[in-house]
Amino acid sequence: MPDQARRALKARAAAQDESLNSYLLDLVSREVARPTVSEVLDRAARRTQHAQASALEVLATARADRAGEALHPSGA
* Residue 68 confidence (pLDDT): 81
* Residue 48 confidence (pLDDT): 76
Cα angle: 43, vertex 45, 49; to 5 degrees: 115
* Amino acid, single-letter form, for residue 68: G
* Cα 48 from Cα 53, distance rounded (Å): 9
Q: What is the pLDDT of residues 60-72, one digit of tens each?
A: 999 998 888 777 7
Q: What is the pLDDT of residues 1-58, one digit of tens each?
A: 999 999 999 999 999 999 999 999 999 999 999 999 999 999 988 887 777 777 788 8
Cα distances from 60 to residues 25, 39, 51, in angstroms, run 48, 29, 16
* Residue 37 confidence (pLDDT): 93
Q: Is the pLDDT of residue 74 over 70?
A: no
* Residue 76 confidence (pLDDT): 53
